Structure 1
Amino acid sequence: MLSLMKGRYRARFAETPEDILAAQRLRTLCFHGDPDSHPLDADAFDAVCAHVLVEDQRDGTLVCCFRILPLTGGGEIARSYSAQYYELSALKDFEGPMVEMGRFCIHPEARDADILRVAWSAMTRYVDENGVEMLFGCSSFHGTDTADYLDAFAMLKERHLAPKRWLPRVKAPNVFRFAQKLRRKPDAKQAMLRMPPLLRTYLLMGGWVSDHAVVDSHMNTLHVFTGLEIKAIPPARKRLLRATAG
Structure 2
Amino acid sequence: MSVFIEKSTVLADTPFAAAPRFAVAFARTAEEILETQQLRYRIFAGELGAEIDGGEHGADRDQYDPWCEHLTVRDTDSGRIVACTRLLTDAMAPNAGGFYSSGEFDLAMVDSLPGRVMEIGRTCVDRDYRSGAVIAVLWQGIAAYITQHGYDYLFGCASIGLEDGGAQAHAILQQIKGRYMAPDYHRVRPYYPLPAADGRTAEKVRMPPLLKAYLSLGAKACGEAYWDREFNCADVFMLLNVSDLNPRYARHFLDRAPSVEATAGHA
Q: TM-score under structure 1 normalisation?
A: 0.86
Deviations 1:25-54 (A, max 9, x none): 10111112079x963221100111110111
Q: Which moved more, 1:74-83 or 1:124-133?
A: 74-83
Query: What is the CA-CA distance between 1:242 and the residue it aligns to?
Result: 2.2
The CA deviation string for residues 177-209 of structure 1, in whole angstroms up to 9 with x for no partner, is 67xx799xx99x954x2x211111111121111
1:199-238 correspondence to structure 2 within 5 Å: 199-238=211-250
Q: How many residues align structurally? A: 236
**Cross-structure match for 1:168:** 188
SS in 1 for 2:71: strand
> Which range moves more in the overlay, 140-149 or 127-136?
140-149
Q: Distance in 1 between the 2:71 and 2:162 partners?
A: 25
Residue 197 (str. 1) matches residue 217 (str. 2) = no
Letter matched to residue 203 of structure 1: L
Post-superposition offset of 1:235: 2.2
- Residue 148 of structure 1 aligns with an amino acid whose one-letter code is Q
Write the distance in 2 (CA, Å) between the matches of 1:228 and 1:238. 12
The answer on 1:20 being equivalent to 2:33 is yes
- Match among 88, 93, 109 for residue 69 of structure 1: 88
Distance in 2 between the 1:8 and 1:216 partners?
34
Q: 1-side partners of 2:235 and 2:142: how far apart?
A: 21
The aligned residue for residue 168 of structure 2 is 148
Amino acid at match of 2:67: V
Q: 1:81 pairs with 75, 96, 100, which one?
A: 100
The question of 1:134 aligning with 2:160 is answered no
Identity of paired residues, percent?
28
State the partner residue of 1:5: 18
Change (3 A) 1:73 1:111: closer
Answer whether contact 1:75 1:94 (CA < 8 A) is retained.
Answer: no
2:141 to 116, 122, 130: 122
Of the two structures, which has the highest relative contact order with CA contacts closer than 8 Å and spacing of 6 or more?
A: 2
The equivalent of 1:93 in structure 2 is 112
- Conserved in 1, the CA contact under 8 Å of 2:162 and 2:169? no
Q: Quick one: which amino acid aligns to residue 222 of structure 1?
A: A
Which secondary structure does the structure 1 equivalent of 2:118 belong to?
A: strand
**One-letter code of the match for 2:117?**
M
Change (3 A) 1:182 1:70: farther
Residues 84-130 of structure 1 show CA distances to partners (whole Å, capped at 9, x for unaligned) of 11011122111211110000000011133211110010001111101
Aligned to 2:5: none
Is 1:107 aligned to residue 107 of structure 2?
no
Partner residue, 2:44: 31
Structure 2 CA distance for aligned equivalents of residues 87 and 109 of structure 1? 35
Aligned amino acid, residue 153 of structure 1: L
Indicate conservation of the 8 Å contact 1:213/1:224, yes or no.
yes
1:140-198 deviation line (CA, Å, top 9, x unaligned): 1123632232221101111111211110023x2x31267xx799xx99x954x2x2111
Which of structure 1's runs of 4+ aligned residues deviate more than 3 A?
72-78
CA RMSD of aligned residues (A): 3.0
Q: Distance in 2 between matches of 1:98 and 1:20?
A: 23
What letter is aligned with 2:22?
Answer: Y
